[in-house]
Amino acid sequence: MGYVSVTETERKLGEFGFAGDDHVVPFAVEPLDVRGRTVQLGPLLDQILDRHAYPEPVARLLAEACVVTVLLGTSLKFEGKFILQTRTDGPVDMLVADFTTPHSLRAYARFDAGRVEEAIKAGMTAPEDLLGTGVLALTIDQGAHTQRYQGIVELNGISLEEAARTYFRQSEQIPTELRLSVAKLVPAVKDFLAGTDRKIPWPGLDGHVLTVAGKVSTSTVYTLPWLSSPGTLLLLCSLVVAAVYRVSMSTWAREAGATAHKMRFAFLTVASVLALAYVMNLSGQTITIGVWIAGAGAAFAYLSPLLGWLGTAVTGSDTSANALFATLQQTAAQKAGLDPTLLVAANTSGGVVGKMISPQNLTIAATAVGLVGREAAILRKVLPWSIGLIVLMCLLVGLQSSVLAWMLP
């Protein structure tokens, strides 16, 4: 069994991200005195399950074991291991999942292929059918010179979810609820959407622009994601919503047209900035400016978030700011002996802070809350916060480039 990693974030519940991310998110509902953790595993499970040719029901059962192990293992407040192990008389007679703090997981399932095949044919592939009767052992190991703590739960026709509830009821003696859900995503849909993309070699440029290394640049091929683009998918969602709420197509078209008219200058600004970014990157201007800025040496780390802040404030788009300055940040970092990953991340973080003061976003906010024409009033309220946050961001990035370098992965 090889270890793979899972990360913990400080996101709030409701900002969990996309399916397939590997995240553990603590949450609390203070008025109800409820605390918990939400676990979402994707690529991590794929790495574990793909190493063995597990039948679908066995893979699903092992995935549930991994989720329970990560859920409980990431709650440990010390260095050590959390181990989940079953020993039963069912078609899957052993499951082992081993979580080592802070973020390493490995797992394995032992099964009787013949009995599993029979269970599949009989339609008896529920967790309790595959496990049968036996025991579930949950072990906390704090390392050498310490005593292991182990909790035992009897498995007698119950699932891992029910067994985990029993463990909390018997061992922790606190009211606990737990829900497990495992689903296999359909890669065919993702592949289909990606397959609709159209690559367009740009006339007059493709094959004629070289990189710094003297190789032909691939940036001259434009990819048109006409169907896989999030914008297209959102447009399709709006059509579905219109159909559900019985909104006529003429009304939908008027609303879409009015929205596009309001955003026309934002569209133009973002498109112009992206065009400028392509010109600067392909002509070598960005690298040249980056080499010049690198003359500031280590002090540049304290200023790098400002580029993303200004870029997003002007364009209204963090993506546009990254297109403009990410290559510049990388080049400056390499020349100044700094971590390129840190400065590119600083550009993005600075952009997030600058988003609240961009004219485009102020217009969107004012329109959304019925304050059209009051953008200046909103700006006066948020500007001090934006300035304060960017100052803190600059200090943090500067310190992370030196005395706080241990914080970087």
Q: Are residues 167 and 281 in the same domain?
A: no
Which residue is it, tokens 């008027």? 254
Enter the tokens of residue 391.
Answer: 């100052």
Q: Are residues 270 and 158 in the same domain?
A: no
Q: For position 83, which CATH number holds? A: 3.55.30.10
- Domain endpoint, select from 145, 172, 199: 172
Question: CA angle at residue 14 from 9 to 179, to 5 degrees?
Answer: 85
Helical ranges in 11-77 per DSSP H: 43-49, 56-73
Helical ranges in 155-221 per DSSP H: 160-167, 187-195
Q: Are residues 57 and 167 in the same domain?
A: yes
- Domain endpoint, select from 121, 140, 172: 172
State the pairing for strand pair 81-88/133-141. antiparallel
In tens digits, the chain (409 residues) has pLDDT values of 555 555 444 433 333 344 446 778 787 777 778 888 888 888 888 888 888 889 999 999 999 999 999 988 888 777 888 999 999 999 999 999 999 887 788 999 999 999 999 999 998 989 899 999 999 998 888 877 777 888 888 888 888 888 888 888 777 667 888 888 888 766 667 778 878 889 999 898 888 888 777 888 888 888 898 888 888 888 999 999 999 999 999 999 999 999 888 778 778 877 887 788 788 878 888 778 877 887 888 889 999 999 889 888 877 778 778 877 888 888 888 888 888 889 999 999 999 999 889 887 887 788 777 777 788 888 999 999 999 999 999 999 999 998 988 887 6
Question: Residues near 364 by Cβ (< 8 Å), separated by ≥ 6?
Answer: 263, 266
Strand partners, 27: 36
- Domain endpoint, select from 172, 204, 225: 172
Q: Is residue 247 part of a domain?
A: no
Residue 42: give the domain boundaries.
4-172
Q: Are residues 52 and 167 in the same domain?
A: yes
340-387 pLDDT, tens digit per residue, is 889 999 999 999 999 889 887 887 788 777 777 788 888 999 999 999
State pTM to two decimals: 0.48
Q: Is residue 237 part of a domain?
A: no
- Among residues 380, 381, 310, the alpha carbon closest in space to that of 350 is found at 310
Hey, is 206 helix, strand or coil? coil
Enter the tokens of residue 9.
Answer: 């974030």
Q: Are residues 48 and 154 in the same domain?
A: yes
Q: Give yes or no for a cis peptide into 127 (omega within 30° of 0).
A: no
Q: Is residue 216 part of a domain?
A: no
Scored b (16 or more CB within 10 A) or e, 357-387 reads bbbbbbbbbbeeeeeeeebeebbeeeeeebe
Question: CA angle at residue 75 from 70 to 78, to 5 degrees?
Answer: 115
Q: Is residue 26 part of a domain?
A: yes
85-113 pLDDT, tens digit per residue, is 999 999 999 999 999 887 788 999 999 99
Q: Are residues 270 and 166 in the same domain?
A: no
Give the chain's domain count: 2
